[in-house]
Amino acid sequence: MGNFKEDIARCEAFVFDVDGVMTDGGIIPTPDDDFIRRYNAKDGYALAYAIKIGYKVCIITGGRGRTLENRLRMLGIDHFYVDCMDKITAIREYMAGQGLDPANVIYMGDDIPDLDCMREVGLPVCPADAAAEVIEASRYVSEFRGGEGAVRDIVEQVLRARGDWARDSQGVTPSSLAASR
């Protein structure tokens, strides 16, 4: 493996877990069998911007719920696996379907169920508060915790490395990033 900063410039796709990565891991069950999660707006902006300019983003999570799926659609994420208990099969299916070289895929996870996916890709990364085993398996540990900017951190680094960050001042519309209801 080369230098991480050089390697991320070859990133072809981002794959993220949700709980503990896009959120702080807290979930509040609702009476209608859904869950309330708190997302970071800057993470959402970075994801929506990356998708808008052509980057591939996939979500693979054991989490489930209408509000989760609404949030992913709101950000423009077309490829997601929710209520997924077999993450390794999901990531292999996604990478094969998109024609991706695993060496150029980023996977950000935070806990034990993410380890197989992290070992499958060339660019495993994690939030600052990930499990010790995940930190050990990562090529990069964000200074930010899950739900507090870790997603933005890695997306921004890749886009900067490729000259795509803040390429235009238009960005994405705030209405598309509104909190899921």
> Range with the lowest mean pLDDT among 2-16, 94-108, 128-142?
2-16
Average pLDDT over residues 11-22: 97
Q: How far is the C-alpha of 122 from the C-alpha of 103, rounded, in Å?
A: 4
Average pLDDT over residues 102-124: 98
Average pLDDT over residues 143-171: 90
Could you tell me which of 177, 173, 122, 167 has the C-alpha nearest to residue 1? 122
- Would the pLDDT of 175 be above 50? no
| Reported confidence tier of residue 171, pLDDT bands at 50, 70, 90 | low
**Could you tell me which residues are beta bridge partners of residue 141?**
126
Query: Which residue type does 66 have?
Result: R
| Reported confidence tier of residue 167, pLDDT bands at 50, 70, 90 | confident
**Could you tell me which residues are beta bridge partners of residue 60?**
81
| Reported confidence tier of residue 166, pLDDT bands at 50, 70, 90 | confident
Average pLDDT over residues 98-114: 98
| pTM score | 0.91
- Cβ-based burial of 53 (10 A; exposed 0-12, middle 13-18, buried ≥19): middle
| Reported confidence tier of residue 180, pLDDT bands at 50, 70, 90 | very low
β-pair type (28-29, 35-36): antiparallel
Contact 171, 47 (CB under 8 A): no
Q: How far is the C-alpha of 84 from the C-alpha of 34, rounded, in Å?
A: 16
Average pLDDT over residues 18-22: 98
pLDDT at 168: 67
Query: Which residue type does 87 have?
Result: K
